[in-house]
Chain A
Amino acid sequence: MANIKEYTRNKEGSNISKIVVDRDLCIGAASCVAVSGETYELDSENKAVVTHADAADDATLMMSAESCPTKAIFLFDKEGKQVFPK
């Protein structure tokens, strides 16, 4: 079973309602942390975790997911549709 972690987002005006990190895919490159340090950090296993799901705007969040070199970050909209990766 995939080792995934889900983070609910309740940011006002945002179209993104869930951030998912696939910990098997994550290699701890921390490009997401570089793009949005207020959203992500690395944990003691060198995997990306979401610390503040509501911190960033949608464009920054999208950029953080796009920046991942292993496509380990998935974003979902309010209808539960995956908006990244497309």
Chain B
Amino acid sequence: MQQYKYLIIGGGVASITAAETLRQNDKDSRIGIVCDEPHLFYSRIMLSKPNFFFGKIPFEQIWLRKEEWYAQNKIELISGNLATKLDASAKNITLSNGQILQYEKLLLATGGEARSWSLPGVDKAGICYVRDLDQAKELIENVKTAKQAIAIGSGFVSFEMCEMMHLAGLEVTLIMRESYFWYPLLDIESAKMIETALQKGGVKILRENEVVEILGNERISGVILKDGTQVPCQLAIIGIGLVCNLNWVKEAGIEINKGILANEYLETNIPDIYTAGDVAEFNDLVLGEKIQLGNWVNAQMQGRAVAMNMLGEHKPFRMVSFYTCIGFGLNIAMSGDVKVNPARKIIKRGSSEINSFARIIIDTNDKIIGATFINRTQDMSPINKLIEFNFKVSGYESKLSDPNFDIKQLFPK
């Protein structure tokens, strides 16, 4: 039986960053990475970027670590293999090829999969997801032949995919259950800016609607919606969220919810088993609640933090989470907790009229807890700092609402 000091399940950014950090601080111990995809570490975030689809960013740019890197750092990659069983008392993992690996410290950084469309006929050609490299390759092929396409969902994936398909010359229809884009994370004013940009880009938007039937034989030829509308399409891109397959983790006695539950040290309920990245539902010290985030930077920063804890540092993970994306001439970002409820106050900064609009969300303790930004990403880092500093807003409302005021002036001296 192969024995590892540090065994990591998953081959994405949380895993690689953790392995790198472990090796920097422990030159000799054995480190192994088990990864179900048959690939080296690649840039998952690039998969949904139009520049990647159209070759403006060379395909080779997607590989973030060369094969030599694994060898030079003595990091053993066991790719094309799924972890199927965890025995937490014997401290071993069984792989899909039957191999059993022993660990001293285990990191579960298994990420998630694109949530499947649950309708009859979802296996027809032309129904695509954009979560992993092989799915992205399939999508690139489908974009070449399709004339009409639909995008399902109202989030980052749909937004970026709409732009990609629009640039590819396809006739695009966006279908969403919500009454406006990104409901309820955005307000209607921000959403209107996005929807106007989508419509100017030729995207037709169908709100409060959903697909009830998929048409076509082997390939999708169209869909029928709840209200009876028929939309012809040869391509459907599904962006309706992420799911984690955690049965094998649960069977081992690890507490799960939608993700793997962890404290602020990214430790699970079982000693020597840690989690990080998209799969981790961790205690976010900034927001004061357990959350699961699906984003690159969070996964990367957690990879580093969890490795330090596996090395024995015992330091909590603390970061203001954020995400950004670009499309149709807009840049969009969200930081921290953007949920709105009647007890929370919102300061508006800029407006849709000037095509530059942020919302700063204040909790009942007079502290900033989150913000959304449309064409104001320059405000994101300063706002995140104010969140970290527990900045008290009272008395500064008018300054924060002035789009020309430099937020950095509010930093503690």
User: Using a CB–CB distance below 8 Å, which chain A residues touch chain B?
Assistant: 24-25, 27-31, 33-35, 37, 41-46, 66-67, 69-71
Contacts and interface: CB of A to CB of B under 8 A. Distances in A.
Contacts of A71: 61, 64
23 contacts: A24-B56, A25-B61, A27-B46, A28-B324, A28-B325, A28-B333, A29-B297, A29-B324, A30-B322, A30-B381, A31-B296, A31-B300, A33-B381, A34-B301, A34-B319, A42-B324, A42-B378, A42-B380, A69-B13, A69-B64, A70-B46, A70-B57, A70-B61
Contact of B326 (A34, A46, A67): A46
Contacts of A44: 375-378
A60 to B, nearest CB: 12
Contacts of A42: 324, 333, 377-378, 380-381
Contacts of B375: 44
Interface in B54-107: 56-57, 61, 64
B384 to A, nearest CB: 8
A31 B61 CA distance: 17
B147 interface: no
A37 B389 CA distance: 14
B270 interface: no
Contact of B331 (A24, A35, A46, A69): A46
Interface string B251-278: 0000000000000000000000000000
Most central of B49, B297, B319 by chain A CB within 10 Å? B297
Contact of A31 (B44, B297, B376): B297
A45 B49 CA distance: 16
Contacts, number: 74
Contact of A29 (B20, B296, B378): B296
Contacts of B377: 28, 42-44, 46
B209 interface: no
Given A46-B377, A69-B13, A69-B64, 20 more contacts: A28-B326, A28-B331, A28-B377, A30-B297, A30-B324, A30-B381, A31-B296, A31-B300, A34-B297, A34-B319, A35-B301, A37-B381, A37-B385, A42-B324, A42-B377, A42-B378, A46-B326, A69-B44, A69-B46, A70-B57
B142 interface: no
Nearest to A45: B331
* Chain B residues touching A, majority SS: helix
B250 to A, nearest CB: 31
Nearest to B295: A29
A69 B43 CA distance: 5
Contacts of A66: 20
A69 B324 CA distance: 13
A14 B380 CA distance: 29
B212 interface: no
A27 B324 CA distance: 9
B45 interface: yes
Given A28-B331, A31-B300, A70-B43, A41 B326 contact: no
A27 B319 contact: no
Contacts of B325: 28
Interface in B1-53: 13, 17, 20, 43-46, 49, 51
A43 B20 CA distance: 30
A46 to B, nearest CB: 4
Nearest to B330: A46
A24 B56 CA distance: 9
B378 A43 contact: yes
Contacts of B64: 69, 71
